Each structure stands twice: as structure tokens, then as C-alpha cells.
Amino acid sequence: MKKVLFIDRDGTLVIEPPIDFQLDSLEKLQFYPGVFQYLARIATELDFELVMVTNQDGLGTTSFPEETFWPAQNKIIEAFENEGVRFSEILIDKSFPEENAPTRKPGTALLTHYIKGNYDLENSYVIGDRNTDVQLAKNLGCKAIFIGIDINPEATLTTTSWKEIFTF
Ligand SMILES: [Mg+2]
């Protein structure tokens, strides 16, 4: 059975833009320190499928037009592929929080094929910087790695270091 790392994007793979939390230009694109080195080692040395799962509030509306999203998103994917990191699937929820969509993290509606499929979710992880990522792990029946400073008691590991995630 395959193990999966469900990886958040903003605040986990890239720095979340501090003012509006919206990565809508290449100028705002900054990668998380150490992520290339250690995610590449995870990809090549460990046995996990990599899946990106991201909430992009209102993507496709006037508040976040698609054409401002894709240049940075495509650059992120290309940069990781250049380092040998390939995501088997990229799942993007475009709803606003107040819509309470089942597809929005911590909802699992975009991930039902992992729940129903032949996956070892008990030994899989969600890696993310929000409590919703930790809740997603709970909802999937997998473990959580929380990226943050304050210990998240529901996460197996709390860290700000991709080196530490790799070592763990
Ligand atoms: Mg995040």
C-alpha cells in the first residue's frame, strides 16, 4: 500500500505573503528555506507519494483572478521538478471560507480517492502550517506534521525545519 505526504503550499512549500496571504505575483514568490534540499531527499530516498493540497480563497473571482495565480503556481511546480520533486496530484480548492465547502481543507471531498483507494493512510502524513491541515490529517486518518513555532498537540511533529521533517 502506498504512503502519501499531503503537502500544503502556502506557508509550507513557499512563504505565505504576509499582508494579504495571496500569492498573486512572481515578486511575492519566495520558497521555504531548505525545502528543495530536503523535499528532494524525501522524494528520492523515502517511499511516499507527494500530493499538493491547497486552499486558494476565491481563486477565479475578481478578488483573485486565475491569471494572477498561475504564473507563480507554474513556477513553483517547475522549480520543484528541476530538483527531482514531482507531485503526483495537485488539488486546489477555490472556495471562500464562509462557503463551508466540503472540498475545502479540512474537508476531504477532494481526497476521497485516497480514502477509498489502496493507500496506507495510517502511515501517511499531512504537512502544513495551519490548524486546518492538522484537522485534515485527523479527517483522513493519517498523521500531521505542523509547520509552526507553537507546539500543536494534535500533530506528531511541530517544526519550522524541512531538515527536521526529513530526519523524522
Ligand atoms: Mg498554509
Residues near ligand 1 ion, CB 5 Å cutoff:
8, 10-11, 129
CA of 130 to the centre of ligand 1 (A): 6
CA of 113 to the centre of ligand 1 (A): 22
The number of domains in the chain is 1
Name beta bridge partners: 3. Answer: 48
CA of 14 to the centre of ligand 1 (A): 9
- Residue pLDDT tens, the chain, 168 long: 999 999 999 999 999 999 899 999 999 999 999 999 999 999 999 999 999 999 999 999 999 999 999 999 999 999 999 999 999 999 999 999 999 999 999 999 999 999 999 999 999 999 999 999 999 999 999 999 999 999 999 999 999 999 999 999
Residue 103 to residues 30, 48, 92, 110, 157: CA-CA distances in angstroms? 27, 23, 9, 5, 25
The parent domain of residue 88 ranges over 9-119+130-167
In a domain, residue 4? The reply is: no
In a domain, residue 48? The reply is: yes
In a domain, residue 2? The reply is: no
Residue found under cell 499531512 = 126
Q: What is the CATH number of the domain that holds 91?
A: 3.40.50.1000
The pair phi, psi for residue 121, each rounded to 5°, is -70, -30
What is the grid cell recorded at 54? 491547497
Is residue 10 among the annotated active site residues? yes
In a domain, residue 17? The reply is: yes
Is residue 133 among the annotated active site residues? no
Instruction: Give the C-alpha separation, 147 to 31, whole Å.
Output: 14
pTM: 0.97
In a domain, residue 23? The reply is: yes
In a domain, residue 124? The reply is: no
pLDDT of 16: 95
Which residue, among 13, 71, 60, has the nearest Cα to 37 in the 3D structure? 13
In a domain, residue 106? The reply is: yes
